[in-house]
Every structure is written in structure tokens, then in C-alpha cells.
């Protein structure tokens, strides 16, 4: 089957959840399908990574968007457009022209769009369009707006969130098939959005062969790990909650405990935590994330907004790292509380669970073993890709 895939990022290197997902799907799906990839980049240096993707794609084309999101042009254009800032940020005129030309010059069976904000680049066509929503965008922005103290800007934020939701739901209804990350996401959409014809669940996965090579090298000090790209607002909210609310309670019971914060694009506020507390380390982007898991006694994931399954939890499971998380952080994963992870939603619950794991090696061993077994059985990319391949086949058959 011939597939045209559109992504708002180059799926390599593997710095974000979206890149991890798309790269691994490409690697597996390319065994059965001819895939042409159109991707957005922010910097010309990213072109150096195209060779890695050309291993799995028939053709790779990239299109440059603005390096920084909040340019004057993007802000002004958003103000006069029905599209929200998220769409304007990723709307490059050359992409729509290139897609139109590509569809005219070659016969495609399917168009695969990662994220709703790539959908405006697709011209009117009879070719089936598969839309994959890695998260429900407006919910993440809504949570940020509700907690924001920028009172003068809040009205503008809510206007933009209204536009995000309107267009998100528009594209959910207009695509041929919609894929979400969890059954909970599917249920939410069925309850809140009308007129969606077909929703499928294709969960996130993890490269089990890659992560099972991790060899634990635990430091003497009990070490807590937080992982997440900080371009995603729920991760920014989560790390602030962890440091400001949960961490003091942990340190009160385990004064020698260490906290390691890892993830690309930390804000100045996040870097400041390491300057204020010698027990906190902020690494930002690391060359090999397995090294961070290898030296962590427990991963703590206090995520309270956004949708979709969390790579940090799956990666922790695959490396044999115990997990303490909020309910939303493990939503959509087939886990049993107390067997695969410890769950809590308040700072007291999360701190108590983290301390319990750090102080009881047998609990660490149990959670690590059960989490590893679960992810190897249900969340490896081979199984996940097979689900998406079945959807490809169904849509391609309809188009014949």
C-alpha cells in the first residue's frame, strides 16, 4: 500500500513522545507499505537526520516553519484567522502545495496525518485520510489557562482554546478514520464530540529490545527520576508540582534523597530548581535516556492534564524502574494498582508512595518485575504496529 504521512516534526532524533512513536511505527510499517514522509522542521540542521528516516521511507521531504513559535507574524496571523495559534504555528504554505502536487503525480491509497493541526495541509481528495491524535490538544491548553495567573492574557487564551476545540472536533468528524491513544480517550470523545464516524485505539509502545539492554547502576542515595519533554505543558505543570509540593515531603522523611529531572527544553524556572536545591539535578536533553533510568530507584509521574499514554511510564517499565504516578499518568495502560505501579493524586499520596518504594527494596523488585512483564507483553512496537497495519488495510480496501 502507498501511504503519504504528514508530521509536524521530523521523527528523528528521538527527543519527544511524538518522534518516538512515529519513528517506531515507520520502522515497522515500512516492511509492508511504501511510505512517503512530509515533515516540518524548525532548523536547517535537522536535515542531517533525514538519512535515518530514508531507511524506512520511499521519500522524505521537509518544510521549514518558524524556529520560535511566538513570532510577530504568527501572533498577528492568528489574530485575524479562524485558525488557532497551534494551527498557524504549523501552517506552511509550501506543504499544502507539495501535498497537492504529490497526490496528482502519484497514486496513493491512504493519507496519514499525525495531529489535527496537519490536516489543513490536505486538499480536498477522495483518498481516505487517517487522523492520529496523540493527545486531545484543547484539554492541555485549557488546564494551562485555568492555572495561569496572567489575568490580562487569559481572555485571549480562552478565545484560542475555543478555536482549538472547534477545529479539533471539525477534523475528527471530517477524517475517514480517527485513531486515539487509549480507550479512555475514545470514551471521552464519544461523550463530548458528536458526529465522529469511527474511532480506533492504537496505544503507544516502547522499543523493548532497546530498553531491556539497560543495566541498573543504582547510586547510594535514593534517587527519584522525572522524565518529559518540557515543550509539552502537562510536563511543565507536573515538574513544578513535584518539586514544589511532593519533593519537600519526600525530603522530610528521606533527607539524603536525590531528584533527577531529565527532558529536552527545560525552562529557566526548571533549571533554577537545581540552583536552589543541591539535591536536585536538571540534565535537560541526555544522549541516552537509558542512563537516567539505570540510576533511578523510582520514576515519579505527577501528570494532571492532557490525554494519551505516557512514554515515560512505558520506558520505566521496560527498564525495570518502579513507577509512582497520578491516575491520569497511567490512564489507558492495562495496569493493576499496587502490582504494576503505585498510584496517588495528592502531594501526600505521591510522596507517601515514593517513600514507600524507596524504603522497601522488595516493593521495588515487585513493581519492576511486573511492569517489565506487562510492557514486553502488551506494549512492544511490533504488536502496536500490527493494529495500525490492520486499519491501513481496511481503509485501503475501501478506496479500491
Per-residue pLDDT of the chain (400 residues; tens, 9 = 90+): 999 999 999 999 888 888 989 999 999 999 999 999 999 999 999 999 999 999 999 999 999 998 888 899 999 999 999 999 999 999 999 999 999 999 999 999 999 999 999 999 999 999 999 999 998 999 888 887 887 788 888 899 999 999 999 999 999 999 999 999 988 899 999 998 888 879 999 998 998 888 988 999 999 999 999 999 898 888 999 999 999 999 999 999 999 999 999 998 899 999 999 999 999 999 987 888 999 999 999 999 999 887 655 789 999 999 999 999 999 999 888 899 999 999 999 999 999 999 999 999 999 999 999 999 999 888 989 889 999 999 999 997 655 5
Same domain, yes or no: 279 and 195: no
Same domain, yes or no: 231 and 186: no
What pLDDT, on a 0 to 100 scale, did the predictor assign at position 398? 58
Same domain, yes or no: 96 and 176: yes
Residue 66 domain boundaries: 2-205+381-398
Same domain, yes or no: 230 and 271: yes
Chain length of the chain: 400
Write the Ramachandran bin of 297: left for phi over 0, alpha for psi from -120 to 50, otherwise beta: alpha
Same domain, yes or no: 373 and 385: no
What's the CA gap between 98 and 106, in Å, rounded?
12
* Cβ 202 vs Cβ 181: under 8 Å: yes
Contacts of 395 (CB under 8 A, 6+ apart): 109, 110, 128, 130, 176, 177
What pLDDT, on a 0 to 100 scale, did the predictor assign at position 30? 96
Strands, sheet with 298-301, edge to edge from the N-terminal-most edge strand: 280-284, 258-262, 223-227, 298-301, 323-325, 342-343
Q: What is the value of pTM for the model shown?
A: 0.82
Same domain, yes or no: 65 and 82: yes
What pLDDT, on a 0 to 100 scale, did the predictor assign at position 309? 56
Contacts of 342 (CB under 8 A, 6+ apart): 322, 323, 324, 325, 353, 354, 356, 357, 367
* Cβ 88 vs Cβ 81: under 8 Å: yes
As for how many domains the chain has, the answer is 2
What pLDDT, on a 0 to 100 scale, did the predictor assign at position 308? 57
What's the CA gap between 136 and 175, in Å, rounded?
16
The x, y and z cell numbers of residue 31, run together, are 516492511
What pLDDT, on a 0 to 100 scale, did the predictor assign at position 311? 84
* Cβ 318 vs Cβ 376: under 8 Å: yes
Same domain, yes or no: 21 and 164: yes
Same domain, yes or no: 173 and 311: no
* Cβ 6 vs Cβ 112: under 8 Å: yes
Same domain, yes or no: 363 and 385: no
The x, y and z cell numbers of residue 389, run together, are 497495519
How many CB atoms lie under 10 A from the CB of residue 347? 18
What pLDDT, on a 0 to 100 scale, did the predictor assign at position 397? 66
Same domain, yes or no: 230 and 292: yes
| Alpha helix segments (H runs only) across the chain | 17-29, 50-54, 72-79, 85-89, 93-105, 137-147, 154-174, 183-192, 208-211, 233-241, 247-253, 268-276, 289-294, 311-318, 347-359, 361-378, 381-398
Question: Angle CA(237)–CA(239)–CA(240) in degrees, nearest 5?
Answer: 65
Nearest Cα to Cα of residue 384 among 131, 203, 182: 203
Same domain, yes or no: 181 and 108: yes
Contacts of 291 (CB under 8 A, 6+ apart): none
265: domain CATH number is: 3.40.50.2000
Same domain, yes or no: 168 and 243: no
Amino acid at each position: 500500500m502507498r501511504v503519504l504521512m504528514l508530521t509536524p516534526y521530523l521523527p528523528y532524533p528521538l527527543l519527544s513522545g511524538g518522534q518516538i512513536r512515529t519513528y517506531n511505527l515507520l520502522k515497522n510499517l515500512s516492511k509492508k507499505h511504501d511510505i512517503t514522509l512530509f515533515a516540518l522542521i524548525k532548523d536547517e540542521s535537522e536535515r542531517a537526520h533525514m538519512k535515518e528516516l530514508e531507511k524506512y521511507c520511499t521519500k522524505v521531504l521537509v518544510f521549514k516553519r518558524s524556529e520560535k513559535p511566538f513570532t510577530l507574524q504568527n501572533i498577528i496571523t492568528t489574530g485575524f484567522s479562524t485558525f488557532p495559534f497551534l494551527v498557524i504555528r504549523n501552517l506552511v504554505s509550501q506543504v499544502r502545495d507539495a501535498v497537492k502536487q504529490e497526490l496528482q503525480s502519484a497514486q496513493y491509497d491512504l493519507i496519514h496525518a499525525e495531529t489535527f493541526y496537519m490536516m489543513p495541509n490536505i486538499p480536498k481528495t477522495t483518498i481516505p485520510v487517517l487522523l492520529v491524535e496523540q493527545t486531545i490538544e484543547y484539554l492541555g491548553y485549557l488546564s494551562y489557562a485555568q492555572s495561569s495567573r496572567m489575568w490580562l492574557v487569559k481572555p485571549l487564551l480562552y478565545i484560542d482554546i475555543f478555536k482549538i476545540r472547534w477545529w479539533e472536533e471539525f477534523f475528527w468528524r471530517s477524517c475517514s478514520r480517527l485513531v486515539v491513544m487509549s480507550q479512555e480517550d475514545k470514551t471521552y470523545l464519544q461523550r463530548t464530540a458528536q458526529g465522529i464516524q469511527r474511532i480506533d485505539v492504537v496505544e503507544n509502545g516502547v522499543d523493548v529490545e532497546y530498553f531491556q539492554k539497560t543495566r541498573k547502576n543504582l547510586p547510594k542515595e535514593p534517587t527519584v527520576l522525572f522524565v518529559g519533554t518540557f515543550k509539552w505543558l502537562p510536563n511543565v505543570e507536573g515538574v513544578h508540582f513535584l518539586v514544589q509540593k511532593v519533593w519537600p515531603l519526600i525530603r522530610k522523611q528521606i533527607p539524603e534523597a536525590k531528584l533527577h529531572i531529565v527532558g529536552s527544553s527545560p525552562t529557566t524556572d526548571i533549571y533554577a530548581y537545581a540552583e536552589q536545591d543541591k539535591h536536585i539535578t536538571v540534565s535537560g536533553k541526555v544522549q541516552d535516556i537509558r542512563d537516567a533510568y539505570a540510576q533511578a530507584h523510582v520514576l515519579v509521574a505527577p501528570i494532571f492534564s492532557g490525554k494519551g499514554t505516557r512514554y515515560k511510564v512505558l520506558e520505566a517499565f521496560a527498564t525495570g524502574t518502579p513507577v509512582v504516578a497520578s491516575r491520569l499518568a497511567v490512564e489507558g495502560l492495562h495496569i493493576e494498582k499496587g502490582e504494576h505501579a503505585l498510584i496517588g493524586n495528592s502531594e501526600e499520596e505521591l510522596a507517601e508512595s515514593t517513600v514507600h518504594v524507596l524504603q522497601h527494596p522488595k516493593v521495588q523488585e515487585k513493581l519492576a518485575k511486573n511492569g517489565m512483564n506487562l510492557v514486553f507483553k502488551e506494549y512492544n512496537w511490533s504488536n502496536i504496529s500490527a493494529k495500525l497495519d490492520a486499519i491501513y488495510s481496511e481503509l485501503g480496501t475501501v478506496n479500491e
